[in-house]
Amino acid sequence: MKITRMTATSLTLVAALAASGTAALAQDLPGPVKARQGQFNILAINLGILGDMARGKADYDAEAAQAAADTLVAVSMINQAPLFPEGTSEMDIDGTRAKAEIWDGWESFGEKWSGLGAAAGELQQVAATGQEALGPAVGQLGGACKACHDDFRAPE
Amino acid sequence: MRGLLGFLVLLAALAGGAVWMISAPDRLPAGEFADDAGGDPVHGETVFTAAGCASCHHAPESEDKLVLAGGQRFASDFGTFIAPNISPHPQAGIGAWSLHDFANALLRGVSPEGRHYYPAFPYTSYIRMAPQDVVDLWSYIRTLPEAESPSQPHEVGFPFNLRRGLGLWKQLYLDPAWITAAETDEARRGRYLVEALAHCGECHTPRDRFGGLQRDTWLTGAPAPDGKGSIPALTPDKLSWSAEDIAYYLETGFTPDYDSAGGHMVEVIDNFAQLPAEDRAAVAAYVKALPEGGIMD
C-alpha cells in the first residue's frame, strides 16, 4: 500500500516534470505568436485533408472535404491584428518567420489575408461536388498562401 | 643591385601584365549570335519563365512582374547587388542591345562595353543554355514593356569594386561543363532546368570564400546569402520527399505537410507552376537521383 502510494507520487512528479519540460521546449513565445502559428497549423492540417484527396493519396470523402473547407473559411475569418502585435517580427524574436515588412505594409498584408478568405470561400463552394474540383481549388488556395509569403514570410 | 631592382620591376610588370591579360573579358566570337531573325517569342516566354528572369528583375513590391525595371537588392558577403533595368527601354534598359550583346551577357557575363558582370547575375548557370533558347529569349524580352527607371549602382566596396578581378574569378568558376551525368531525354531535360535555366545551384549549393560554387557539394544546402537563415539541402540524405511530392511542391508551394513556401522560393514556384507538368516531373527526377552528400564521382 505504502509502495503503491509512493509509486503514484513519483509518477505524478515525473509527469509534472515532463509537462514543464515540454513547456520549456516549446519556447516562451508570446501568446499572440503561438496563437497565429496555431491558426496556420490548423490551415495546414485541413489543407492536407483536401490536398491528399486532390492528389489521390486519400479516398475522396465529400463530407470530410466539406468539413475541411468550412474550417479553412472559419480560420480565414480570424482577425489578424491582435495576433501580430508590434515587436514580434523575425528581427525582434527567435521562433518566428514573420518579416518586419508586415508592419510596414499592414494594408497590403490585410489584402493578402483577404485573398486567403476568397480562395477558401471558393473551395467551400466546390469541396463536396467531387474529387476533380479539389485540385484546381487547392492550387488556387496555395496561390493565396504564396502571394503573402512572397512578401511577408522569411525563409527558414 | 640596380640590375636586380630592374629585374624585379620587370618581373612585377610582366606578372601584372599577365594578370591583366588573363582577366580580360572573354567574349563570344563576333560571328556567333549575329542574326536575330530566327527567334520564337512564344518559346522564348517559356525560357524566360524557366530562367526566372522576372523574379530578380521586376521592381520591388511590384505586382506586374513583366516590367523588368530592376531595383531589388541582393545582400551578400561581398556587398549589396541591385538588379538592373533589363526592360527594352533604349536608354534605361537593354533596348539598344544586339542579340550578340545579349548572348555575351548571358553566356559570358560581359557587358556590351566589355565590363565583367558580377556573378549575382547567374551566368555561371546560363553558360549551359542552348543557343536557340538564347535567341528565343531575346525575341521575347523585346516584346515586354519599357521601364524608364535607371539602373542603380551596386553597393560593393574595395577590393570587390575592381571588376577586372572578376576575370580571374571566371577563370576559376565559369565552366560550361554539366555537374551531373544524364542518360535519358527526361534526365537531360531535368538537368537542363536545374543546372542551366532555373539556376538552382546558385542558392542551394555552398560557396567557397571567393564566392565560387563548390561543385563537390552540389545542392547540399547553404547559408542564405543575406546572412539570415539557411537554404535547404536537396540531396536524398537530407530531403526525403517523393518525386511526386517535389513536383507538387513546385506546382503549388505545398510541402508534404502542407506548409507553404516562403522567401525567394515563392518566386521560383510561381515560375515552375507555369511550366508543363513534365518539366516539374523532370526536375523531381533529377533531385531524386542526386548522390548523397552531393559528392560527384
Is any Cβ of chain B less than 8 angstroms from the Cβ of A155? yes
**8 A C-beta contact, residue A85 and residue A32:** yes
Burial class (CB in 10 A: 0-12, 13-18, 19+), A88: buried
- Chunk chain B into consecutive blocks of 10 residues (it has 297) and report each block's average pLDDT, rounded to whole numbers: 72 80 88 90 98 96 91 94 98 97 98 96 98 98 97 93 92 95 95 98 95 94 85 95 96 93 89 97 97 78
Nearest Cα to B26, choosing from B115, B145, B137, B143? B115
**8 A C-beta contact, residue B139 and residue B53:** no
Tell if the CB–CB gap between A44 and B265 is shorter than 8 Å: no
Asked whether residue A18 carries a pLDDT value surpassing 80, the answer given is no
Any idea what the Cα angle at residue B280 is, between residues B276 and B286, rounded to 5°?
140
Q: Give the residue carrying C-alpha cell 490536398.
A: A51
* Percent of chain A's residues with pLDDT above 70: 83
Asked whether residue A134 carries a pLDDT value surpassing 60, the answer given is yes
pLDDT for position B122? 97
Nearest Cα to B204, choosing from B191, B193, B215? B215
Tell if the CB–CB gap between B267 and A150 is shorter than 8 Å: yes
The full set of domain ranges for chain A reads 5-152
How far apart (Å, rounded) are the C-alpha atoms in residues B146 and B64?
12
How far apart (Å, rounded) are the C-alpha atoms in residues B244 and B256?
10
What counts of helices (H) and strands (E) characterise chain A? 6, 0
pLDDT for position A14? 46
Tell me the helix, strand and coil percentages in chain B, rounded to 5.
45, 5, 50
Q: Would you call B100 helix, strand, or coil by DSSP?
A: helix
**Which residues lie below 8 Å from residue A105, measured CB to CB, with a gap of 6+?**
A151, A152, B61
Residue predicted with more confidence, B9 or A10 = B9
Nearest Cα to B46, choosing from B118, B109, B137? B137
> Is the complex ipTM higher than 0.85?
no
Residue predicted with more confidence, A105 or B297 = A105
How far apart (Å, rounded) are the C-alpha atoms in residues B15 and B25?
18
Q: Give the residue carrying C-alpha cell 569594386.
A: B161
* Eight-class DSSP state of B111: -
Shortest distance, CA A2 to any CA of chain B (angstroms): 48
Which residues of chain A neighbour B247 with C-beta distances below 8 Å? none
Amino acid identity, residue B200? C
Span A5-152 CATH architecture = Up-down Bundle (1.20)
**Which residues lie below 8 Å from residue B100, measured CB to CB, with a gap of 6+?**
B28, B30, B32, B33, B34
Closest partner residue to B229 (CB to CB) among A105, A146, A155 is A155
**8 A C-beta contact, residue A98 and residue A151:** no
**Terminal Cα-to-Cα distance of chain A (whole angstroms):** 54
Is any Cβ of chain A less than 8 angstroms from the Cβ of B263? yes
Which residues of chain B neighbour A150 with C-beta distances below 8 Å? 266-267, 270
Q: Pick the residue from chain B with its C-alpha nearest to A48.
A: B258
pLDDT for position B1? 57
pLDDT for position A3? 47
Closest partner residue to B258 (CB to CB) among A47, A139, A150 is A47
CA distances from A11 to A14, A16, A17 (A): 5, 8, 10
Rg (CA), chain A: 20
Residue predicted with more confidence, A23 or A117 = A117
Which residues of chain B neighbour A97 with C-beta distances below 8 Å? 262
Nearest Cα to B71, choosing from B203, B61, B247? B61
- Judged by phi (left if over 0) then psi (alpha if -120 to 50, else beta), residue A154 lies in beta
Is any Cβ of chain A less than 8 angstroms from the Cβ of B260? yes
Task: Over range A115-131, report the average pLDDT.
Answer: 97
Closest partner residue to B254 (CB to CB) among A47, A97, A150 is A47
Q: A7 falls in which pLDDT band (50, 70, 90)?
A: low
How far apart (Å, rounded) are the C-alpha atoms in residues B198 and A118?
31
Tell if the CB–CB gap between A155 and B244 is shorter than 8 Å: no
